[in-house]
């Protein structure tokens, strides 16, 4: 099991691998807003866990295992972003999906994925839900505490 931070690194490396033939430390540093030494540290760990091949000055390559997990992590993030959109949350969708992703179990992610697919497939149900949300008076879940 990777730590949340290493999951984010692998997720980003996978994203970069889709659009770049060569992934550089500074690409990752920029994307994750961290320092280059932090990236190098993470790359060494991912290398030791066999998710990537990394040698200083020789590039960063995903192993088969790394590609598989990276793909899954990207999918998990987009499922959660879609979920937040479907439930019409007025949150910062990107930031919130980023926060949720590491703490939900696989069965929960799978259920959320099914719910999203279901809601998107049936426009009528989605509209009913949005209408219901509109008739609910509460603007904030903790309104009763205020
Ligand atoms: Mn994350």
pTM of the model: 0.87
Domain boundary among 46, 68, 90: 68
- Domain span holding position 94: 74-145
Domain boundary among 35, 53, 68: 68
C-alpha 77 – ligand 1 centre gap (Å): 8
User: Do 27 and 84 fall within a single domain?
Assistant: no
C-alpha 121 – ligand 1 centre gap (Å): 27
User: Do 30 and 63 fall within a single domain?
Assistant: yes
Q: Does residue 7 contact residue 66 with C-beta atoms inside 8 Å?
A: no
C-alpha 79 – ligand 1 centre gap (Å): 13
Q: What pLDDT does residue 133 have?
A: 85
C-alpha 139 – ligand 1 centre gap (Å): 28
Total length of the chain: 146
User: Do 47 and 81 fall within a single domain?
Assistant: no
d(CA 32, CA 50): 21
User: pLDDT by residue (tens digit) across 50-87?
Assistant: 999 998 888 899 999 999 999 999 999 999 999 999 99
Cα distances (Å, whole numbers) of residue 6 to 3, 57, 129: 5, 21, 37
Q: What is the CATH number of the domain that holds 17?
A: 1.10.10.10
User: Do 79 and 94 fall within a single domain?
Assistant: yes
Beta partners for 60? 54
User: Do 140 and 81 fall within a single domain?
Assistant: yes
Domain boundary among 68, 95, 115: 68
User: pLDDT by residue (tens digit) across 92-114?
Assistant: 999 999 989 999 999 999 999 99
Q: What is the CATH number of the domain that holds 125?
A: 1.10.60.10
DSSP state of 3: -
User: Do 61 and 89 fall within a single domain?
Assistant: no
Q: What pLDDT does residue 15 have?
A: 97
Residues with CB under 5 A from ligand 1 (ion): 8, 98, 101
Q: How many domains does the chain have?
A: 2
User: Do 56 and 98 fall within a single domain?
Assistant: no
């Amino acid at each position: 099991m990777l730590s949340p931070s290493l999951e984010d690194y692998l997720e980003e490396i996978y994203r970069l691998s889709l659009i770049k033939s060569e992934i550089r430390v500074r690409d990752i540093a920029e994307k994750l807003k961290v320092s280059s030494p932090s990236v190098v540290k993470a790359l060494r760990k991912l290398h030791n866990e066999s998710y990537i091949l990394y040698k200083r000055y020789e590039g960063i390559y995903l192993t088969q295992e790394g590609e598989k997990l990276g793909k899954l992590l990207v999918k998990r993030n987009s499922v959660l972003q879609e979920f937040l959109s479907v439930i019409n949350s007025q949150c910062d969708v990107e930031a919130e999906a980023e926060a949720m992703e590491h703490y939900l179990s696989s069965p929960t992610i799978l259920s959320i994925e099914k719910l999203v697919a279901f809601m998107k497939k049936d426009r009528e149900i989605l509209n009913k839900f949005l209408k219901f949300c509109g008739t609910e008076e509460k603007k904030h879940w903790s309104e009763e505490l205020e």
